A and B are shown apart, each in its own frame.
Chain A
Amino acid sequence: MTGLVQAAPPILELRDLTVAFALRAGTLRPVEGIGLSVAAGETLALVGESGSGKSVTALAVMGLLPGRTGRIERGQVLFRTRDGAVVDLAALDREALRRLRGDQIGMVFQEPMTSLNPVWTVGDQVAEPLRVHRGLGRRQAAAQAVELLATVGIAEPARRAGQYPHELSGGMRQRAMIALALACKPRLLIADEPTTALDVTMQAQILDLMRRLQDGIGMGMIFVTHNLGVVAEIAQRVAVMYAGRVVEEGPVREVFRRPLHPYTAGLLASMPRLGTGAAARAGGGTLRAIPGSVPSLAERPAGCAFAPRCALARPACRAALPPAVEAAAGRLTRCIRWDEL
């Protein structure tokens, strides 16, 4: 053995992913030129505020863009399947995508009440992917569903399997959703704000659970969230999105310790942190807010979209889109003044 850490080949690689929404008002691009990758066993957090494009990115990977208006305009979504083949999800037809989703790609959404079917029992829903993708019989699938519910920490799994989503608490519903997503041991899990609707104590439980299950399956995970605390708890790498682009990417520890984009720095500084409030109150201090607000999709400025809110901005920032530069090993930033931060 050498001391070298061999980087695992990526399970998912986005290249120049661009999503276009054709609206009456014209074509809008909520996501532009995204390049990212996720390795087996790794969690990549996608963070950003509303309108940053983080959820649209996740939907595009899953092939779940609203069919009439949204489409992948440019770029590739390269997915390494279980048998080692690399397929471009952006080029697959619906049927082929459907075969991958729920089997090799699992999904967990923010609100389990709307993503679970209200007229099916929880057990039937968790069993469905096993029947569809694994060809299990009704009874076998039902038995495995109960086991899965137990794995995600639902007490009395056999009884719960016979209940409907509305009979479960929010935390339990999210556990059931996770059981469903992981039923076929996917290679990749895409989790879009899975703990945002939950209380902090329940959030902590669900994060523990997801970490544990990921270790067991060795899957890659894309975790979409707006909460930087959650990022630090769950992810090894983070991509910060602003107005449709990744503005910074790197290992969570390094990015949070020394952000290389003013937006990342601003986000970190604007967040009140537990244990610092007393000093702030005594000192009459204020939170360091980022001035202004996120530009709407139709009004994105030319050049760096963050420039109008950025204290470091200068004419060059508004003139042209800053290129993504590798400021250090594994660390990307789209800021021309990163070394002055």
Chain B
Amino acid sequence: MTAPLVEIEGLSKVFGRAPGVRAVHDVSFAIGRGEVVGLVGESGSGKTTLGRCVLRLLDPSAGRIRYDGTDIAALPQRALKTWRRRMQPVFQDPFASLSPRMTVAEILTEGLAIQRIGTRRQRRDRAAAMLAAVDLPEDALSRYPHQFSGGQRQRIGIARALALEPEFLVADEPVSALDVSIQAQVVNLLRDLQRRMGLTMLFISHDLAVVEFICDRVVVLYLGRVMEIAPSNRLYAAPRHPYTRALLSAVPDPDPDAKRARERLEGDIPSPSDPPSGCVFRTRCRFAQPRCAEAEPPLEEVAPGHLKACWRDDIGPA
């Protein structure tokens, strides 16, 4: 990893009154400059909450978010304005995240206007340049979101995020709502832009194949806790946490000749308002032992850059 741009340390988010729902619990990891880190896990794993905390769209309950050396976790909203232009979100649903009453030009220049960047004319030029960057024609500027297909709308969402020339993107399931053939277009676009602009990215997805394709490193969350962190090459080839193993083996493979390692997780993810004692994954883990109920396993390094939170050291790929 290169020098970190974003360092998350002991981040927690609790919703509701005490004891509340611990959506994210004591999460720590860093994202290097120009690095793409994937955040994976099932619904209820806390990945969206974590992404929103990192952007300060939600206020974390505890922990630090050092952005380029400065802790922004506790900064008041007013003080965040200067940071906002450096970090931008891309949302999942290109239907819900674009105002239906704004033209594309208005959508793309809104952030610039709020940040008082450039003249009207310059902002419009920037918007046109952004459209070109996401392969949309310039005449799109005067149209409204509903006049575009899902894939085109997601391109507009990406153009909006890039208009402020941020260095850091948090993309939350950016291709999940798209059809397969369009998904590939948008994945290619994101990768290409990321490389050309040297963007740092937190890529949140439940789709492990897309994550493998686009991410340098992957953080696996379960019930708000980090289960495993590893460079993509290692995580997919040699997972060390039973949860990662189970997740990978649950992905259906279109290759009719693929050998299917079947490893089924039983039951449901427990409620985050009443997590199991010790390791939160133990209630669904086929490798669980008595000690797993007693204490939460620490996140420890098993190889350079490869961390796992599991008491057992004998877990390999399925």
Name A's B-contacting residues (CB within 8 A): 49-50, 155, 169-172, 199-205, 207-208, 226-233, 252-253, 256-257, 266-268, 270-278, 280-281, 286-291, 293-294
Contacts and interface: CB of A to CB of B under 8 A. Distances in A.
B175 to A, nearest CB: 10
A277 B181 contact: no
B83 interface: no
A227 B253 CA distance: 10
A201 B250 contact: yes
Interface string B218-255: 00000000000000110011000000001111111111
B167 interface: no
B188 A274 contact: no
Interface stretch (B50-58, B74-82, B121-129, B205-213): B205-213
Contacts of B277: none
B103 interface: no
Nearest to B187: A287
Nearest to A47: B180
B255 A256 contact: yes
A278 B268 contact: no
Given A232-B252, A271-B254, A287-B187, A200 B208 contact: yes
Interface string B173-197: 0000001111111011001100000
B299 interface: no
Contacts of A256: 254-256
A272 B262 CA distance: 20
Nearest to B254: A228
A286 B192 contact: yes
Contacts of A266: 181
Contacts of B211: 277
26 contacts: A50-B150, A170-B43, A200-B206, A201-B264, A202-B42, A202-B268, A208-B264, A232-B253, A232-B258, A233-B252, A253-B256, A256-B256, A267-B181, A270-B181, A273-B253, A274-B251, A276-B212, A278-B212, A280-B213, A281-B216, A281-B232, A286-B188, A289-B182, A289-B185, A290-B185, A293-B149
B101 to A, nearest CB: 22
A131 B255 CA distance: 43
Contacts of A200: 42, 206, 208, 247, 250-252
Contacts of A172: 268
Interface of B: 42-43, 149-152, 179-185, 187-188, 191-192, 206-214, 216, 232-233, 236-237, 246-258, 260, 262, 264-269
Contacts of A252: 256
A266 B182 CA distance: 11
B265 A205 contact: yes
B197 to A, nearest CB: 16
Closest CB pairs A-B (n = 4): A277-B212, A229-B252, A289-B184, A270-B184
Contact of A289 (B42, B181, B254): B181
Nearest to A291: B185
A201 B247 contact: yes
Which of B179, B232, B251, B257 has the largest number of chain A CB atoms within 10 A? B179
A278 B252 contact: no
Nearest to B44: A199
Contacts of B250: 200-201, 203-204
Contacts of A229: 251-254
B246 A289 contact: no
Which of A256, A280, A286 has the largest number of chain B CB atoms within 10 A? A286
B252 A271 contact: no
Given A199-B269, A232-B256, A253-B256, 18 more contacts: A49-B180, A155-B267, A201-B250, A202-B42, A204-B249, A205-B264, A205-B266, A268-B254, A270-B184, A274-B236, A275-B237, A276-B212, A277-B209, A278-B233, A286-B188, A288-B184, A289-B184, A293-B152
B253 A171 contact: no
Contact of A287 (B43, B184, B255, B265): B184
B225 to A, nearest CB: 17
Contacts of B252: 200, 203-204, 207, 227, 229-230, 232-233
A271 to B, nearest CB: 6
Contacts of B185: 289-291
B248 A274 contact: yes
A317 B147 CA distance: 28
A271 B247 contact: no
Contacts of A294: 149, 179, 181
Contacts of B188: 286-287, 289
A275 to B, nearest CB: 6
B180 A271 contact: yes
Nearest to A232: B254
Given A204-B264, A294-B179, A272 B254 contact: no
B233 A271 contact: no
A25 to B, nearest CB: 16
B213 A287 contact: yes
B172 to A, nearest CB: 16
A325 B78 CA distance: 66
